Chain A
Amino acid sequence: MIIALPTKTSGEKAFISENLGRANYFYIYDTDKVDGKSFINNFQNEAHGAGVKTAEFLMKYSTDILITPRIGEKALEILLETDIKIYKATEKIARENINDFLNDKLEELY
């Protein structure tokens, strides 16, 4: 299972970004490999459609679960058509949000 989170800095100890499409980084975690990697968000400064590009990015990495504090209209419009499940992030760091998700402690948004 692949879990994705928008983060402020890189690495599993990064804090969660307030925004999804305009996040600095995405942390992608693979539960089978028990390993994660951070990616710079190349579309952060797009004038239009950063959310669209983020949705595209998440699809490219075969994301199953997205953990985010909020999600924009356009990213949501696209992701609702996919099998990606969206959960609400808390103010903890990425690693703790992943653990909380795995322990069923996060609220499902969509």
Chain B
Amino acid sequence: MQIAILSGKGGAGKTLLAVNLVNLIDEANLIDCDVEEPNGIFYFPIDYKKTDVNILVPKIDDKKCTHCNKCVDFCRYNALIDFLGKVKLLPSLCHSCGGCKLVCEFDAITEREEPIGVIYQGDYKNHKIFGGELNIGKESGIEIISQLIDKADKKTVNIIDCPPGNGCSVMESIEEADYCILVSEPTVFGLENLKLVYELTTIYNKKIGLIINKANSYNNVIEDFAKSNAIKILGYIPFDKELSKLNSNQKIVSDNKRFKPYFNKIIEQIRQEVDL
């Protein structure tokens, strides 16, 4: 069972929810796919095994290259440039599609590995915790996300903490998800961002539920939208100073007596939607 947690903006509460669901669901694993700002692993102070992640990028043999520029014209990402008598690669733009190698008629292109980041893996009680980190200066963490998702056992409950937004890295994260939980905060800005991820999950035809984080007296901003689109509200996380303080100190708030019931209630609601 793959459950992805999404939100249109950063700071909505994806990681807060993900970490606490993992904590309360027996044998659930965490897959933190936000490789650009990974913080899921901070909540679980355990020893992590680190594995390097590489992508394949083209290597051009200047002796074989005839400067026909087929590869340069082919590259949708403009990662190749023919200049100063050499076809040069800009690795940060390369998406590792391998197309340049295919279109080269002179066998001038081979592939080499380029390191882009690492994967962290560790055990916390009976949970497996996975996280990835994209190296500074690299533009796309898709390969790390893809390897992260492959690492987790699909037969168990995996909570996938997505990157914010609705871009490529989020699509990669939710692709295999059986259920998507959207997290929003009750502001007009929060609503606009929620609409973006809602649209994405609709395109992907995903079963979804909604959590309102930082719940306060303005919840109706989100509730009205949920009602008019027939989205089930799974629960609320209160707008609470103590909760924020605990969370920002990397404490798992569902270990606290006061906050545990909110998350248990959410899990109860999720169980009505999917088999955990």
Q: Interface on A for B, CB 8 Å cutoff?
A: 43, 46-50, 52-53, 55-56, 59, 74, 77-78, 81-82
Contacts and interface: CB of A to CB of B under 8 A. Distances in A.
B93 A48 contact: yes
Q: 6 nearest interchain CB pairs?
A: A49-B78, A48-B77, A52-B78, A49-B93, A52-B81, A56-B81
Given A74-B90, A74-B92, A50 B83 contact: no
Nearest to A60: B83
Interface in B80-101: 81-84, 88, 90, 92-93
Interface residues of B, number: 12
B78 A77 contact: no
B84 A55 contact: no
B67 interface: no
Contacts of B82: 56
Contacts of A52: 78-79, 81, 90, 93
A59 B77 CA distance: 19
Contacts of B77: 47-49
Contacts of B76: 47-48
Contacts, number: 40
A80 to B, nearest CB: 12
Nearest to A48: B77
A43 B72 CA distance: 14
Nearest to A74: B90
10 contacts: A50-B78, A52-B78, A52-B79, A55-B83, A56-B81, A56-B82, A59-B83, A74-B90, A81-B83, A82-B84
B92 A78 contact: no
Nearest to B86: A81
Contacts of A55: 81, 83
B83 A48 contact: no
A81 B78 CA distance: 18
* From A46, A48, A56, A59, residue with most partner B Cβ within 10 Å: A48
B119 to A, nearest CB: 25
Nearest to B137: A73
Contacts of A56: 81-83
Contacts of A74: 90, 92-93
Contacts of A78: 81, 83, 88, 90
Nearest to B139: A48
A109 B122 CA distance: 48
Contacts of A81: 83-84
A26 B84 CA distance: 21
Contacts of B93: 48-49, 52, 74
Nearest to A79: B83
A49 B79 contact: yes
